[in-house]
Structure 1
Amino acid sequence: MGDFCFQDFDFHEAESEAADIRQSNTLPSVRTLRGHQGPAAFLLKGSRLDEHGCDSVTPIAYTHIDMGACMGSHPKVSYPNPLLALVATYIFPHISLSFKM
């Protein structure tokens, strides 16, 4: 995904006082200016995450973990190694595990 521009967010400004946000237009993304960025800008704006950037009063720490590389080709088995690492680090230390065989 490329960098966002103000126009990516401006595109989703509501067109009337009755709406908070505009989801899209009736054109396919290939015929919409920077249409490939629209869905991401819409989600950021709709969830209000755009109000919590690094320069805001209330930033939200965020880390993106790309799971795609560990997801082999369908129908082969996938190995979600990043997920297992997160669970081992942040969940297992806080719970008691007991297995009965």
Structure 2
Amino acid sequence: MVKTLDDLLAERRGNPEAQAAHKKRMLAEVRAYKLRELREMLALTQTDVAETLSISQKRVSEIERGQVDFTKVDTLRRYADAIGGSLRVEVQVGDETYLIA
């Protein structure tokens, strides 16, 4: 039987609030990974995205390079590999879902 992250967290002793916050941070990073490929597939430039988000193009570039404050997706991927699993990352745009990692 496959256990979910929620199952594993429920079995682990510790602070449930801290675990929930950590899970939220990890999931946020997964969602941000490899956004460049999706952006390019949609024929958008970093400047297009930056203007839409009201941020600098430099910041878009940093995000696409994984320069974020929390765990990097690469770390999550290596963790999954270490436990015999794999990491699956999807982006939903409208009604379409794209597997990006």
TM over 0.5: no
Structure with higher Rg: it is 1
Give the TM-score normalised by structure 2.
Answer: 0.24
Q: Which has the higher contact order (CA 8 A, sep 6+)?
A: 2
Give the TM-score normalised by structure 1.
Answer: 0.24
